[in-house]
Each structure stands twice: as structure tokens, then as C-alpha cells.
Structure 1
Amino acid sequence: MKKIGKILGQYIIYIFIICVAFILNSVNGLLGWDPLLLKIFHKSNIYGNQLGLILIIVSIILMLLYWLAYHLELKHKNNWDFKQEIEFNWRSIIIAIGGFAIIAISQFIIMHLLNKPSPNQSEIGNIVNNAGQIFELNLIIIAPIAEELIFRGMFFNTFFTRPTTFNLWVGSVVNGFLFGYIHAGLSIQIISYWIMGIIFSFVYLYTKDIKYSMLTHIFNNALAAILMIV
């Protein structure tokens, strides 16, 4: 009974964190991840250096809290043997870059099949062209790190915790859907983010190191930002 209570407690904590992240993502102004309020800020001329600095500080504080929660979970349960120390190796780097290449190719194919970018990406493109370095820092660095801690790190520490083939594949598909739903809802564009989430999960589970899924995510967002600017 005590064990069941601990498991339920983990689920509740993770769901709470996801809900908070979803609210922050939707409300936007706090983190600068979603373009809606940033667009209002620009129209109202209130997105200046001071607000940008506040966004960065809040984002970094939340990112550190996510990192702390992630490592506390690893100390409590780590059946996958995820690495906690700073460690770099060529195999993991190749997996991270390979994951990025697969995502880039899949996004290119999906964009041509849909014949249009997602509304989310279109809005972000408009903001990137006007917001400058503050939004780009959030998009390319802070958001990928925070999202990997939440959607990959905490997810697999809470659900699909045993290193089985079933958990690897089903967990990655479920994780991808959750990631897609948070970014695109139930629109057709969820397919794009769903694939991203699955690949990020594979990179994390095969390298057993959250830093490499972060690296893949950073590469992906950096490429998206570059394509939006040019």
C-alpha cells in the first residue's frame, strides 16, 4: 500500500509539473515560448530589454528547478541507468546528430505533404524576425533544455520506468503524442511534433543521457530559427 502511494505521488507530481508547463506555455509572457503574448507585447511596445531580462531570469530559475526535480527522481529510481555525471562520448554525439538529421528530413517531408508550416511555427517566425536575441535565446537554448527535462527526463522517471523493449517503443510513442499535443493540440500539425517527440525519446533512451536529447532539440530549434530568419 505504501509503495502504491509513492507511485501515485510521483504521477501526481509529474502531472502537476506538466500542467504548470502547459499553462506557462499558453500564457507565454513568462517564458517567451509561445508567440501569442509576445505578439501583443510587440504591438504594445512593452517588450523591451527589461521584460526580456525578466523572461530570461524566470526561465533560468524554472529550468534549474526542473533540473533539480529530475536529479532527485534519478536518485529515487533509475532502472534505465540514466547518467547523472557530465560525460561525453562519440557514440552518443553521433546518435544525437543522427536524431537531428532524421527530424530535419521528416519535417521537410511533412511540410511538403501538408504544403504549409504549422500555425505555431508561422507565428514564431514572425516573432523571431522582430523579437531579437531574447526570444532566440529562449527558443534555441532555454526551451529545449526545460522541455527535455520535463518531457523526456521526468516522463521516463515516472512512467515506463523499466528498461524493456515494450517500454522503449510504447513509451516513446506515448511521449511523442504528449509532446505533440502540448505544442499543436489535435490539429494535423501534431504529426510533426509527435515524430519529434519520438526521436527525442529514442536519443535519450539509447544514450541514457538527457544532455544528448537536449543537444538534438537545440540543433532542431536552431535550424528552425535560421530557416525562419532567411
Structure 2
Amino acid sequence: MYNLKQIYKNEIKIKPISLLKSLFAIAIYILVQNIISLLSVFISVLINPNMSFGNNIILVMIVTVSISIAMVILAGHIFTEKGSTKINNNNFKPNKKDYLHICLIIIGYILIREAVLFEVLTQFEGPIPDETIDFIIENSSGIEFFVLSLMLFLQTLIEAPIFEELFFRGILLNGFLSKYKINHKKAIIYSAIIFAIAHLNIPQGINAFILGVILGYIYYYTKSMKLSILAHFINNLIIFIPVPSNIIFKIAYICLGLYCILKGLNYIKQLQEKNNKLAIDN
């Protein structure tokens, strides 16, 4: 956990990471997570054959989240350069204006996604088919479904923004930036590709790739895990923006979304220049 704290504060160097090495790492992560989840269900059935379906799903969720956190902690040990420190922008403390512009970028993306990508993404089957959701509801008691919903809520708004950002931006993106020092765009694209692959389905993968590029630029310009975590949190939180039903509203969404994104990106670029000047002065 100490390494993750240093990664969060941008106080430790990450070893150079190639695209091939990152693909291997994410493949191991997915494989280990699925094997251990299946084993946990198998063992629980052996120990208690009468365990309800709902409780089995709860067990799988607990194991999956635990493995995800453990793998990020392990990656923090593997990919950091032991005993290393690096010049960082610790003197930079985000203020309300910084938070506001990060929110603008994400809200802008969500508006454009709902106007342009919604109809495309809904053509593909999501990570959990509607039939599966109906089956879970029908075969879980009221309390089991409540616990499942609460766990999914906490996983979406707390575990995912924190640990996914530590891994995909704090470790992988920094590793790519170390590998491709003169080409930050390649590093950001590569980290977004891995972020998309990790979601294991087409609609979430497309969304994750674009979001990964945006989060990558936020982290690259600010070097602040706090801001990238906030951006990820806002994206996961805002899921009820109405989908525009006609061309006029779609154009309005796109124009407003582009304005928010460009205004936010321009602000964080200026923020990078200010932080670089602050680092030189210190």
C-alpha cells in the first residue's frame, strides 16, 4: 500500500512499460481474477451446497473486488523503481476552480457520448445482458438484491475510480511515459487501449477507450491523481442525462459538450505551464 500512496502523490518513478508488457499484465490480471472467482464459488458450493444463488453472487463480487485491489497493490510493487524519487508537483493543491474545470471536461464528454455514441453502443450487448439481470432478481431475496445493489454502487463510485486510476494512469500511463519520453500522445493512446481491453465487452470498451484518452490527458497535464480520480468518479456518477431525441437537441448537446471539453482542456494546459514554472522556481 505504501507504493500506491507514493504513486498517488507522484513521488516515485515507474519503470518503462512497453505495450506488449502491459498486454501481458492485463491478461494475467483478467485470468487470475476469473480463476479465483470461479474457485471461490466451487469451494463455497462444496462447503455449503445449500447456499443461495444471491449469496453466491455476493461472494463472487467480494472476491472480484478483493482480487482487483490486491493485483493493483502487487503491480505497484512490480513496476515501481525501488528507492527512487522524482521531481513532482507536490506544491500543487487543486482548488475549486481546478475541480470545476475537470467536471466540465467529463460532463462535456458525457453530453457528446449521449448525442453521438448512445445509439451505436446500444446495438451491442452490454457486460450483463437483461436476461441475466432478470434471472438474478428472480433468484435473489430482497435483502440479497439490496446487498448486491449496494456493493455494485460502492464498487462503481469508490473502488473503480480509485484503484483503476492508480493502475491505468498512475502505473501504466506513467510507465508508457517513461518508455516513450518524446511522445506523450502514444503513451496516452496505449494506456487507453489497455483500459478498453480490460472492460471485456464492446460498448464499455469503446466508452472506456475514449474516456481513457480524456483521463490520460487530465493526468498528463496536471500530474494529479486526485483530479483523475474525481473525473472518473463524475463519469461513473452521472448516468441519468436524458438522451436527445431529435437532431436539434443532439446538435445542442454536441456544441455544449465540445465547449466544455475545450474550455476544460485549455485550462489544464495552462495549469501545467503554471505548475512547471512553480517546479522550476522551487
Matched, 1:220 2:235: yes
1:184 shift after superposition: 3.6
Q: Which has the larger radius of gyration?
A: 2
Give the AA of the match of 2:126: P
Once the two structures are superposed, residues 50-103 of structure 1 have per-residue CA deviations (whole angstroms, 9 ceiling, x without a partner) of x48954983696288269649955963646x364x8933234313421232133
Q: Which residue pairs with 1:175 in the alignment?
A: 191
- Given candidates 50, 62, 71, the residue that maps to 2:70 is 62
Alignment partner of 1:45 out of 27, 33, 54: 54
> In 2, distance between residues paired with 1:54 and 1:188?
25
- Mapped partners of 1:46, 1:119: distance in 2: 23
Instruction: Measure, in 1, the Cα distance between the counterparts of 2:86 and 2:21.
Output: 17
Q: Cα offset for 1:175? A: 1.3
- Point out which structure has higher relative CO (alpha carbons under 8 A, 6+ apart): 2
Residue equivalent to 2:6: none
Candidates 145, 167, 173, aligned match of 1:150: 167
> Which amino acid letter does the alignment assign opposite residue 143 of structure 1?
A
- Give the whole-Å Cα distance in 1 for the aligned partners of 2:36 and 2:235: 21
Structure 1 counterpart SS, 2:178: coil
Q: Which residue number corresponds to residue 157 of structure 2?
A: 140
Answering whether residue 106 of structure 2 is matched by residue 100 of structure 1, we say yes
Q: Residue deviations 1:129-158, cap 9 Å, x none?
A: 842211211121102211111111101332
TM-score by length of 2: 0.55
2:210 maps to which residue?
A: 195
Amino acid in structure 2 at the alignment position of 1:177: I
**Which residue number corresponds to residue 204 of structure 1?**
219
Superposition RMSD in Å: 4.3
Aligned to 1:36: none
Separation in 2, partners of 1:95, 1:28: 40
Q: Indicate if the aligned counterparts of 2:124 and 2:203 stay in contact, CA closer than 8 A.
A: no
Taking the aligned partners of 1:7 and 1:20, their CA distance within structure 2 comes to 19
TM superposition score normalised by structure 1? 0.65
Q: Percent identity?
A: 20
Q: State the partner residue of 2:118.
A: 111
Q: How many angstroms does 1:104 deviate by?
A: 1.0
1:86-130 per-residue CA deviation (whole Å, 9 max, x = no partner) reads 93323431342123213312321211244446512656x949984
Count matched residues: 203
Q: What is the distance in 1 between the residues matched to 2:215 and 2:149?
A: 27
Secondary structure (helix, strand or coil) at the match of 2:231 reads: helix
Alpha-carbon displacement from aligned partner over 1:195-216 (angstroms, at most 9, x marks no partner):
0110111111122111111111
Distance 1:82 1:117 in 2: 42
Q: Gapped runs of 5+ residues in structure 2?
A: 1-13, 39-50, 138-144, 242-282
Once the two structures are overlaid, the 10-residue window that deviates more, 173-182 or 194-203, is 173-182
Mapped partners of 2:81, 2:21: distance in 1: 11
The SS at the match of 1:76 is coil
Partner of 1:161: 178
What is the distance in 2 between the residues matched to 1:139 and 1:29?
A: 19
Amino acid at match of 2:117: I
Aligned pair in 2 of structure 1 residues 204, 75: CA closer, same or farther (>3 Å)? farther
SS, match of residue 155 in structure 1: helix
